[in-house]
Amino acid sequence: MMPKRSTERPGAAGRPGAGAGAGARRGPGGGPGSGPAGGGFGKGGRGRGGTQGAFGKGGANRGKQRKSKRAKRAELEQMQAPSVGGVSVRRGDGSTILRLRRGASLTDFAEKIEANPASLVTVLFHLGEMATATQSLDEDTFTLLGDELGYKIQIVSPEDEERELLDSFDIDLDAELEAEGDDELQARPPVVTVMGHVDHGKTRLLDAIRHSDVVSGESGGITQHIGAYQVHHEHEGVDRAITFIDTPGHEAFTAMRARGAKVTDIAVLVVAADDGVMPQTVEALNHAQAAGVPIVVAVNKIDKEGANPDKIRGQLTEYGLVPEEYGGDTMFVDVSARQNLNIDALLEAVLLTADAALDLRANPDKDARGVAIEANLDRGRGAVATVLVNSGTLHVGDTIVAGTAHGRVRAMFGDDGEQVDAATPSRPVQVLGLSSVPRAGDSFLVTDDERTARQIAEKREAAERNAQLAKRRKRISLEDFDKAVAEGKIDTLNLILKGDVSGAVEALEDALLKIDVGDDDVQLRVIHRGVGAITQNDVNLATVDNAIIIGFNVKPAERVTELAEREGVDMRFYSVIYAAIDDIELALKGMLKPEYEEVQLGTAEVREVFRSSKFGNIAGSLVRSGTIRRNTKARVLRNGTVVGDNLTIESLRRFKDDATEVREGFECGIGLGSFNDVKEEDVIETFEMREKPRV
Question: How does DSSP assign 246-308, residue by residue?
Answer: E---SGGGHHHHHHHHHS-SEEEEEEETTT---HHHHHHHHHHHHHT--EEEEEE-TTSTT--
- Quick check: 541 and 496 in contact, CB under 8 A? yes
Q: With 60 as the cut, is the pLDDT of residue 593 above it?
A: no
Q: With 90 as the cut, is the pLDDT of residue 338 above it?
A: no
- Number of folded domains that form the chain: 5
pLDDT at position 262, please? 66
Q: Would you say residue 250 lies in a domain?
A: yes
Q: With 50 as the cut, is the pLDDT of residue 17 above it?
A: no
- Picking from 103, 132, 156, the residue at the C-terminal end of a domain is 156
Q: What are φ and ψ of residue 575, in 5° steps?
A: -120, -15
- Quick check: 505 and 529 in contact, CB under 8 A? yes
pLDDT at position 217, please? 55
- Picking from 334, 361, 388, the residue at the C-terminal end of a domain is 361
Q: What CATH number is associated with residue 450?
A: 2.40.30.10
- C-alpha 59/C-alpha 65 separation (Å) is 13
Rounded alpha-carbon distances, angstroms, from residue 424 to 366, 367, 394, 418, 446: 10, 11, 7, 15, 13
- C-alpha 639/C-alpha 234 separation (Å) is 59
Q: Would you say residue 60 lies in a domain?
A: no
Handedness of CA 297, 300, 303, 309 (dihedral sign): negative
- C-alpha 51/C-alpha 41 separation (Å) is 9
pLDDT at position 202, please? 82
The answer to whether residues 496 and 519 belong to one domain is yes
Q: Would you say residue 549 lies in a domain?
A: yes
pLDDT tens figures, 101-145: 888 889 989 988 888 889 899 988 888 888 888 888 888 889 889
Encoded amino acid at 203, one letter: T
Number of H helices and E strands in the chain, helices first, is: 18, 34
- Picking from 344, 361, 378, the residue at the C-terminal end of a domain is 361
Q: With 50 as the cut, is the pLDDT of residue 648 above it?
A: yes
Q: What are φ and ψ of residue 403, in 5° steps?
A: 65, -125
Q: Would you say residue 165 lies in a domain?
A: no
* Among the ranges given (162-166, 333-337, 570-574), the one the predictor scored with the smallest mean pLDDT: 162-166
The answer to whether residues 296 and 208 belong to one domain is yes
pLDDT at position 401, please? 95
DSSP 355-375: HHH---EE--SSB-EEEEEEE
Per-residue pLDDT band for 472 (boundaries 50, 70, 90) equals low
Give the residue with greater pLDDT, 500 vs 669: 669
The answer to whether residues 423 and 357 belong to one domain is no
Per-residue pLDDT band for 259 (boundaries 50, 70, 90) equals low
Q: With 50 as the cut, is the pLDDT of residue 402 above it?
A: yes
pLDDT over 70 percentage in the chain: 79
Q: With 90 as the cut, is the pLDDT of residue 3 above it?
A: no
The answer to whether residues 124 and 204 belong to one domain is no
Q: Would you say residue 22 lies in a domain?
A: no
The answer to whether residues 356 and 272 belong to one domain is yes
Selection from 253-262, 403-412, 550-559 with the highest mean pLDDT:
403-412
Q: How far is CA 679 from the centre of its chain?
A: 56
Q: With 60 as the cut, is the pLDDT of residue 582 above it?
A: yes
Considering only CA atoms, give the Rg of the chain. 42
Q: With 90 as the cut, is the pLDDT of residue 81 above it?
A: no
pLDDT at position 40, please? 46
Rounded alpha-carbon distances, angstroms, from residue 492 to 521, 545, 679: 8, 10, 56
pLDDT over 90 percentage in the chain: 21
Q: With 70 as the cut, is the pLDDT of residue 272 above it?
A: yes
pLDDT at position 25, please? 44
- Average of pLDDT values for 571-588? 83
What are the b/e assignments for 306-335, b being 16+ CB within 10 Å?
ebebeebbebbeeeebbbeeeeeebbbbbb
Q: With 90 as the cut, is the pLDDT of residue 408 above it?
A: yes
- Quick check: 120 and 110 in contact, CB under 8 A? yes
The answer to whether residues 318 and 263 belong to one domain is yes
Q: With 80 as the cut, is the pLDDT of residue 212 above it?
A: no
The answer to whether residues 579 and 540 belong to one domain is yes
Give the residue with greater pLDDT, 52 vs 398: 398
Q: Would you say residue 588 lies in a domain?
A: yes
Per-residue pLDDT band for 351 (boundaries 50, 70, 90) equals very high
pLDDT at position 517, please? 61
- Quick check: 504 and 225 in contact, CB under 8 A? yes
pLDDT at position 663, please? 92
The answer to whether residues 329 and 243 belong to one domain is yes
The answer to whether residues 543 and 411 belong to one domain is no
Q: With 90 as the cut, is the pLDDT of residue 8 above it?
A: no
Helix orientation angle between 502-513 and 577-589, rounded to the nearest 10 degrees: 30
- C-alpha 678/C-alpha 661 separation (Å) is 20
The answer to whether residues 378 and 253 belong to one domain is no
The answer to whether residues 612 and 584 belong to one domain is no
Q: Would you say residue 605 lies in a domain?
A: yes
- Average of pLDDT values for 325-338? 89
pLDDT at position 435, please? 92
* Among the ranges given (3-17, 173-187, 231-245, 625-639), the one the predictor scored with the smallest mean pLDDT: 3-17
Q: Would you say residue 174 lies in a domain?
A: no
- Average of pLDDT values for 651-677? 90
- C-alpha 686/C-alpha 645 separation (Å) is 10
The answer to whether residues 206 and 316 belong to one domain is yes
Mean of the per-residue pLDDT values of the chain: 79
Domain span at residue 220 reads: 188-361
Q: How far is CA 15 from the centre of its chain?
A: 103
DSSP 154-168: EEPPHHHHHHHHHHT
- What pTM did the predictor assign? 0.57
- Average of pLDDT values for 85-108? 82
- Average of pLDDT values for 443-461? 91
Selection from 465-474, 542-551, 592-601 with the highest mean pLDDT:
542-551
pLDDT tens figures, 511-541: 888 887 655 556 788 888 888 888 888 888 8
